Amino acid sequence: MAKPSLQSASIYCLALWVAIWILFLLMRLSPFDIRGVPGIGGIVLIALAIALVAPMLATGLAAAALFRQPRAPLNLLTFGCAIAALFGQIFLFLITRWL
């Protein structure tokens, strides 16, 4: 696998993670109640599963890209962002009361 493709895949995972969490935030703040939409529960559950797995996958891909090309600053930045997203998500889930 090419070095830029690992880095790009990690960036795409992080972008997907951000997009899903922004979508969840917009649903929370919106006056529109999505519970009445048929079949939305499965879609939201799949989106939550993707949001849980994406930072772990992004961290692994960024670590592989950093291992293959350690001197590239963008690889280091991507790895740092992936680690920050992973720790941020872990912290978010640890402070919530519904778990």
| Residues in contact with 89: Cβ distance below 8 Å, sequence separation at least 6, in sequence order | 17, 51, 52, 55
Longest dimension (CA), the chain: 51
pLDDT at res. 34: 82
Report the C-alpha gap between 96 and 91 in whole angstroms. Answer: 9
Express each pLDDT in 33-77 by its tens digit: 887 888 888 898 999 999 999 999 999 999 999 898 888 888 899
Express each pLDDT in 70-98 by its tens digit: 888 888 999 999 999 999 988 988 888 76
Report the C-alpha gap between 74 and 72 in whole angstroms. Answer: 6
